[in-house]
Amino acid sequence: MRLMRVAPLLVLTALTAQSPAQIRVYRNSQFGFEVPIPRGLYLFRPHEMNGIDHGRQFFFKPTSVEDCNNGGCDRYIEVDAYYNTLEDTAKLHDFLEHECTVFGGVECLQPPEDLKVKGLASESARVKLPNGRVELLVVTQAGRPTPDFDASAPSINYSICLLTSEEHLDADLRFFRTILKTIRISPPN
C-alpha cells in the first residue's frame, strides 16, 4: 500500500531525470559570442555548414525534433555570425539592408524601439513577409578589420532575428529583448 502512494512520485522523478537537460547558455567560440537561453525557448542543433558553426535557432514551441515535423517550428529567434567578406555587407547599414531584402525579399520597415545589442553599434528593422509572418532584425559588427578586405569594416557580421506572427509578436518580443540585452559578443582575434 505504501508503495502505491510513492509510485507516482517515483515515476515523476524518473521522467524528470530522463528528460534531456536544456542547455542554458549557447556558446560559439568560432565567432566569439554566447547567448543565455531564456526559459521557454528550446535550442536545436542545425546542420553545420562546412564544419563551421554559424549560429543557432531558439524555438518557442517545440520540445523535440518531432514537434518541428508537425509544424511547431514556425516561431523562433535565430543568432548567426559570418565573416564580413562582401561589399554588399561591409558597412552596418548595408548589412541590414541585405538581411531585409535577400532573406525577407522586401524592404526594411521601422522596428519597435530599443532593439539593439547592448554595447555595440546596431541597426534594426521590421520586415513584413509575404506569408503574413513578421521578422525583426538586429545587426551588428565586431572584430578586428581585415586589411585585405576593408580596413574600415569589422571582420564579423552578427545577425539576431525574431520570426513570429502578429498574434505572438508582443509575447515573443519580450524574449527577443532579453536575448539582445544578454548576448555577449567578443570575437576571437
Assigned domain for 31 exists: yes
Assigned domain for 91 exists: yes
Assigned domain for 90 exists: yes
Range of the structural domain that residue 46 is part of: 22-185
At residue 103, the pLDDT reads 67
Q: Which is more confident, 62 or 140? A: 140
Q: What is the pTM of this model?
A: 0.81
How far, in Å, CA of 150 to CA of 61, rounded?
A: 41
Assigned domain for 10 exists: no
- Classify 13 in phi/psi space as left (phi over 0), alpha (psi -120 to 50) or beta: alpha
CA atoms within 13 A on the CB side of 70: 7
Assigned domain for 1 exists: no
**What digits encode the pLDDT tens for the residues 67-123?**
666 666 788 999 999 998 888 888 999 999 999 987 666 789 999 999 999 899 999
| Inter-CA distances, 35 with 13, 162, 167, 175, Å | 29, 14, 26, 12
Assigned domain for 13 exists: no
**What digits encode the pLDDT tens for the residues 127-147?**
988 788 899 999 999 998 887
How far, in Å, CA of 141 to CA of 58, rounded?
A: 21
* One-letter amino acid for residue 33 of the chain: F
At residue 25 the predicted structure's pLDDT band, cuts being 50, 70 and 90, is very high
Q: How many structural domains are present in the chain?
A: 1
At residue 62, the pLDDT reads 59
What CATH number does the domain containing 109 carry? Answer: 3.40.1000.10
Q: Mean pLDDT across the chain, nearest whole number? A: 80
